[in-house]
Amino acid sequence: MKLNENVCFSPEVADALERGLPVIALESTIISHGMPYPQNVETARECERIARSCGAVPATCAVIGGRLCAGLTDEQLEYLGRTGPAVTKASRRDIAVIASRGGDGALTVAGTMIIAAMAGIRVFATGGIGGVHRGAEKTMDISADLEELGRTDVTVVCSGAKSILDIGLTLEYLETKGVPVIGYGTDEMPAFYTRKSGFKTDYRMDTPEEIARAVSLKKKLGIAGGTLVVNPVPEEYSMDKERIDAVIEAAVQKAERLGVKGKNITPFLLADIKDVTGGDSLETNIALVFNNVRLASAIACALE
């Protein structure tokens, strides 16, 4: 495989891609914006370790010093974790501008999909995707993640849409964009912190190999756009739906009172939810990310 000269590959990732070995992408906003230090760096390192133990090479993606990176050094992971929200949260609209200025950017789901596609990486593991925000009929606040899923051929493994969102409208939007939503071992769309949402997935598949066959055929047929694989949080880490829904509702109302909007709202809500739940939500967040890395690695290993 010829490597894209616009992407800075770590030696490990470059070697794997050139040899046709399984590689999975990992995002960097989970390091800078998704968790507090030092849990964020510890989680990032453990995600990479899990991927390797499952037979896949991890490629954490970010913009560092103006370079589009697929695969980070340990020092770069530490830098993103320590700098935290001071690093720009970068999506499709931001990548070229940040790179042209020689800046740093922690990539969202959409941003990671773009770098992964440029790098030739077909599978990406994350925590949860963005989606249609509550009240979007007035604010038009819809995550760029959904647009990217509709246009970029990367399979995204997550634990559903974050439960701070309108999950029903998120699924409607994905349907409009032609994105298949595959439930791994489930017919129900998980809601990040919980296994239940009350909404159905498009398909249920029970093995990584079955998912890989569908993804491989989609690529062979030339059908554009991504695939969303939703993987419920492990049962032992799933939070009580009524409890977390109440906490989320209170956090959403708090954000409205304080005027928090746009790309700042998700980090604000996640931090508030963590504080109110006494850290339980952070433990759940970490567990589901690890679980998604395992599944993404298995799918990558099974791709044709």
| pLDDT reported for residue 164 | 77
Compute how many other C-beta atoms are within 10 angstroms of the C-beta atom of residue 4: 16
Choosing from 103, 121, 139, the residue where a domain stops is 121
Instruction: Assess whether 113 and 258 both reside in one domain.
Output: no
- CATH code: domain of residue 237: 3.40.1790.10
Closest by CA position to 56, among listed 127, 119, 123 = 123
The pair of three-digit structure tokens given for residue 121, joined into one six-digit string: 């990486």
What is the residue whose two structure tokens read 């909404």?
A: 199
| Tens of pLDDT, residues 152-184 | 999 999 999 977 789 999 999 999 999 999 999
281 and 173 in one domain? yes
Q: Which of 27, 48, 78, 148 is catalytic?
A: 27
* Residue 44 one-letter amino acid: A
Same structural domain, 160 and 297: yes
Are the CB atoms for 182 and 202 separated by under 8 Å? yes
* Judgement on whether residues 264 and 190 belong to the same structural domain of the protein: yes
> Residue 55, Cα to own-chain centre: how many angstroms?
20
**Residue 267: is the preceding peptide bond cis (ω within 30°)?**
no
Question: Quick one: pLDDT at residue 91?
Answer: 97
Question: Is residue 66 domain-shared with residue 188, that is, in the same domain?
Answer: no
**Total of domains in the chain:** 2
> Known catalytic residue: 177?
no
Low-confidence ranges of the chain (pLDDT < 70): 262-263
pLDDT in tens, 233-254: 999 999 988 888 888 888 878 8
Q: What is the pTM of this model?
A: 0.93
What pLDDT is recorded for position 265? 73
Q: Do 214 and 179 share a structural domain?
A: yes
Q: Is 254 a catalytic residue?
A: no
- What is the span of the domain harbouring residue 135? 130-304
Contacts of 2 (CB under 8 A, 6+ apart): none
Catalytic residue among 89, 162, 263, 274: 162
